[in-house]
């Protein structure tokens, strides 16, 4: 469920702000209680193992322990810090609203005896979306279809008036069914809500210009991040900077440029509109006057899967 850092900048200013950085996490470890041991009960759940620790929370894998039925979840427990607690409360409220197969479900929640908040959500296991595309050597058409599914998830969130604000490969896992799952709504905001110091968090390399400037963030910011994600997904391999010079590549570059335009008004008006443009390329139709070469969409070889960590 937790993913590795996308780049060194994440270690400096990850989602949740500078207090989530690696150095601060090490300092916190001296003041935080040791992780709960296996077998600890939290509500109706029994902790199985530690899954990951961050600057603001700790995540465990846990199993249902009340005998009603078998179920595994990821339990997230906030650290004892007022700013983290409020952010955590907002994330829990947001997840409670969302019902989409591409978003991990909120299952349970409460607080510990010491007052710290926790929630249990569907445990998601998978591979980062960029690793999935590269290690499986997916054909371009398959990569675009995967991206379209991500657009569907983001469009759903926007229908709920939510802006995710942290769309990046590390927050998108492809599960065993081949479905992308969008994680971490910890810094999501209501569309059009003003920024404040408490929630001015971002992953710099994927953040939109208005997000970096501390301006009002709207759904257009997620469109920008989707454009950045598309660039990563369609790159043929991890050692290449761009697609080969073809009409398909030119069309994709045009879409990426529009999605990542500096001015929000110049981007696609919605995730659905961005999805439609990408789908047109995948289906081999002409886009903006370009004649697309259908055979390029299925030219990639299919070597055996290389194991990749989530």
Which residues are annotated as catalytic?
166
DSSP H or E run through 143: helix 140-159
- Distance CA(2)–CA(14), nearest Å, equals 13
Backbone angles phi, psi at 36, to 5 degrees: -60, 135
Q: Where are the beta strands (DSSP E) in 26-82?
A: 41-42, 45-53, 57-64, 72-78
Q: At what angle do helices 247-259 and 271-282 cross, to 10 degrees?
A: 180
Sheet with 180-182, edge to edge strand ranges: 127-128, 172-174, 180-182
Q: For residue 180, give both structure tokens.
A: 């992308």
Supply the DSSP symbol for 250. H
Three-class SS state of 71: coil
- Distance CA(146)–CA(237), nearest Å, equals 16
- Distance CA(170)–CA(251), nearest Å, equals 26
Q: For residue 16, give both structure tokens.
A: 């949740």
- Distance CA(247)–CA(296), nearest Å, equals 10
CB 60 within 8 A of CB 49: yes
- Distance CA(70)–CA(66), nearest Å, equals 9
Percentages helix, strand, coil for the chain, rounded to the nearest 5? 40, 15, 45
């Amino acid at each position: 469920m937790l993913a590795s850092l996308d780049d060194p900048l994440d270690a400096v200013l990850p989602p949740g702000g500078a207090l989530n950085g690696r150095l601060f996490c090490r300092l916190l470890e001296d003041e935080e209680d040791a992780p709960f041991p296996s077998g600890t009960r939290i509500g109706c759940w029994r902790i199985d193992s530690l899954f990951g620790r961050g600057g603001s929370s700790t995540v465990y894998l846990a199993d249902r322990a009340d005998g009603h039925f078998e179920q595994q979840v990821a339990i997230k427990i906030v650290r004892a810090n007022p700013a983290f607690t409020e952010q955590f409360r907002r994330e829990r409220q947001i997840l409670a609203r969302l019902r989409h197969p591409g978003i991990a479900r909120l299952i349970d929640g409460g607080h510990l005896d010491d007052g710290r908040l926790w929630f249990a959500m569907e445990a998601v296991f998978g591979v980062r979306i960029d690793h999935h595309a590269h290690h499986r050597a997916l054909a371009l058409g398959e990569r675009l279809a995967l991206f379209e599914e991500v657009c569907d998830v983001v469009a759903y969130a926007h229908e709920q008036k939510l802006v995710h604000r942290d769309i990046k490969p590390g927050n998108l896992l492809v599960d065993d069914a081949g479905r992308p799952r969008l994680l971490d709504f910890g810094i999501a905001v209501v569309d059009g809500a003003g920024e404040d110091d408490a929630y001015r968090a971002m992953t710099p390399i994927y953040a939109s210009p208005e997000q970096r400037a501390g301006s009002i963030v709207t759904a257009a910011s997620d469109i920008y991040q989707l454009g950045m994600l598309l660039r990563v997904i369609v790159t043929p391999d991890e050692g290449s900077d761009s697609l080969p010079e073809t009409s398909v590549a030119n069309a994709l570059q045009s879409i990426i440029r529009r999605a990542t335009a500096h001015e929000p008004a110049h981007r696609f008006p919605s995730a659905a509109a961005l999805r439609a443009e990408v789908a047109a390329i995948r289906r081999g139709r002409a886009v903006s006057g370009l004649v697309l070469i259908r055979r390029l969409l299925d030219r990639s070889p299919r070597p055996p899967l290389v194991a990749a960590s989530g």
